Structure 1
Amino acid sequence: MTKVNQQLRLPSGRLLAYDEYGAPDGAPIFYFHGSPSGKLEYGLFGGEVLADRLNIRMIVPDRPGLGRSEFQPGRQIGDWPADVVALADQLALARFAVLGYSGGGPYAAACALKIPERLTRVGIVSGTAPFDEPGLSAGIDSTSLRFMQLARTKPRLSRLTLRLMAIMARFAPHQIVKGAMATLPVPDQAMLTHPEFQDRFIAMIRGALRAGPRGAQWDTALMVGPWDFRPYDVRSEVYLWHGEMDASAPIAMGRYMAAAIPNSHAFSYAGEGHLSLISNYLEEILNLLIA
């Protein structure tokens, strides 16, 4: 079962878009994409075949302002659990697991904090940590770090940059891939050498920016700015996976989250980066979340 471009009208009137993969009666998992990204991201790493094989019902929503979900003015990371609950209620899911990847990690942590009674398990893969904690962002490639910080310090310039990215993704996708290759470690470069992965990577960028740059800029600004909660307030059990060669969310971020969350279980991988870890270990990760 694959259902794409579904939309839910939330109680506020705002539209929330989501895709579904796998078995309708399978173990439900909500996948939270990175930043800036969108629901097509799941297609980079998983898909219908994997979800079917593991008997999983994978639900992948676009966050507000990204993809096909409507923008939510003034939103904070901690507002996300309410959208998740509304979608779960619409789908008649009393309990479910959540998996946050990269910039989706803070949103999984927010769910662990705010709706623990609805969650079966919480996983974070290559997740970001608070950028205002000293030293945690030092290992990020300088070009990538400037791009992310621009969303908070110079939002208008950030939106212009994102608009240009959307144009390049449409008319010069090879330049997007070339730029990404220049900032990534060897394990992640290896992923981007595959033409099919490149196509899905470009489709993800196009999908995320289809409604314009405002949502992507805001989402990134929330990630790099002060969060509206602290990880040490999370009391639920959280599983963390991180690659030691990650240059997008350095291993220091993973170690910080493991130390900050009292009931955490952390797994690190010496030869893996930001893209390669989830690509190579997604089945193992999903099996643990549904165990």
Structure 2
Amino acid sequence: MRVEVKAGDGRLLVAEVWGAPHGLPVLLHHGTPGSRLGTALRDITEHYPDIRFFAYDRPGYGDSERCPGRTVADAAHDSAAVADALGVETFAVVGRSGGGPHALACAALLPERVTGTAALVSLAPWDGAGLDWFAGMTPHNAEHYALAVRDPEALERRLTPRAAAICRDPGRLLEELRADLAEADLPVLSDHLVHQVILDNYREALRTSVYGWLDDSLAFCRPWGFDPGSIPGRVLLWRGSEDAFSPLGHFRWLAGHIEHSTAVIKPGAGHFAAQYAQPEALDWLL
């Protein structure tokens, strides 16, 4: 069910809620680019009938209004606003890929409300002490984020026509990424359930503008606004051993700095295998 929520500053946020109306609440943070429609496979409620899932489009995606200059930390305030609107006091959090940093923001900044956190194939902070942020990153992603740092306006000019083309044909983004995909990702993307969710996800994410994608990219490449090392609760970190998009150095940095973390590397899995890791994360959280 689609729900419209007002953020603390009056911005519109579009959320989705599904599953058991009185079940245990779990907030799902989508990837980059992404939307609330790409946070879980369609059969998730069959496997977890006692969970109330909710998700929202970050500012600039879908119909959620843009918040220029937003930081990763701002996701905690928006998440709290969505939870408040739904009458949810405490909840678990799962973030995949670009949603990972935003899930960690909730863990750090909403410690009284977040019962546990899973960050799947997440990036680490831009200013992480001792972290070579670009090491191990695919050439495509390294170029993308380097441009975000060097010339945000040029990145916007580059992404705008690309986003419009992907919205018309969401499969285009998968084709663009194919050169950087691990071999292990190919069977995952050929799974009909996964493929359809990804297409719906990209189409909704970029339906109205490029700003969600742009602002996510800029937020990752500036101070996040919180220290993952301050997270008091338990955190699951998950990564596929063959992941070509989420660098191993980022995973190790997070595991080394989050005190109550459980770090899992899945042998033979790529980046998109995180779609299949969600049940593992939910089992761990519950």
TM-score (norm 1): 0.90
Within 5 Å, give how 1:276-287 maps onto structure 2: 276=273, 278-287=274-283
What is the alpha-carbon distance in structure 2 between the residues aligned to residue 229 and residue 120 of structure 1? Answer: 18
The alpha carbon displacement at 1:194 in A equals 3.9
Within 5 Å, give how 1:103-114 maps onto structure 2: 103-114=98-109
What is the alpha-carbon distance in structure 2 between the residues aligned to residue 136 and residue 243 of structure 1? Answer: 18
Aligned to 1:15: 12
Q: Could you report, residue by residue, the CA deviation over 1:196-216 in whole angstroms, capped at 9, with x for unpaired residues?
A: 543432332221122211232
Local SS of the residue matching 2:32: coil
Aligned to 2:114: 119
Change (3 A) 1:282 1:174: closer
Q: Could you report, residue by residue, the CA deviation over 1:203-236 in whole angstroms, capped at 9, with x for unpaired residues?
A: 3222112221123211111113232222222222
% identity of equivalent residues: 32
Match of 1:215 among 209, 212, 228: 212
Which moves more between the two structures, 51-60 or 93-102?
51-60
Number of aligned pairs? 283
Match of 2:143 among 132, 143, 146: 146
The alpha carbon displacement at 1:262 in A equals 1.1
Per residue, is there more helix in 1 or in 2? Answer: 1
What is the alpha-carbon distance in structure 2 between the residues aligned to residue 161 and residue 200 of structure 1? Answer: 25
Letter in 2 for 1:279: Q
What is the alpha-carbon distance in structure 1 between the residues aligned to residue 168 and residue 222 of structure 2? Answer: 32
Aligned to 2:44: 50
Say what the alpha-carbon RMSD is for the aligned residues.
1.9
Within 5 Å, give how 1:66-77 maps onto structure 2: 66-77=61-72
Local SS of the residue matching 2:184: helix
Which moves more between the two structures, 169-178 or 156-165?
169-178
Change (3 A) 1:141 1:82: same
Change (3 A) 1:231 1:10: closer
Q: Could you report, residue by residue, the CA deviation over 1:79-131 in whole angstroms, capped at 9, with x for unpaired residues?
A: 22122112211111111101111121111111111111111111111111023
Q: Could you report, residue by residue, the CA deviation over 1:159-213 in whole angstroms, capped at 9, with x for unpaired residues?
A: 2222222232244545433212111101112222345543432332221122211
**Structure 1: 5+ residue stretches without partners:** none
**1:241–1:266 contact (8 Å) kept in structure 2:** yes
What is the alpha-carbon distance in structure 1 between the residues aligned to residue 204 and residue 222 of structure 2? Answer: 24
**1:181–1:192 contact (8 Å) kept in structure 2:** no
**2:28–2:54 contact (8 Å) kept in structure 1:** yes
TM-score (norm 2): 0.91
**1:245–1:251 contact (8 Å) kept in structure 2:** no
**Structure 2: 5+ residue stretches without partners:** none
What is the alpha-carbon distance in structure 2 between the residues aligned to residue 181 and residue 251 of structure 1? Answer: 20
Local SS of the residue matching 2:63: coil
Local SS of the residue matching 1:40: helix
Within 5 Å, give how 1:25-174 maps onto structure 2: 25-42=22-39, 45-47=40-42, 49-54=43-48, 55-133=50-128, 134-174=131-171
Establish whether residue 247 from structure 1 lines up as the match of residue 244 from structure 2.
yes
Aligned to 1:288: 284
**1:144–1:183 contact (8 Å) kept in structure 2:** no
Establish whether residue 225 from structure 1 lines up as the match of residue 222 from structure 2.
yes
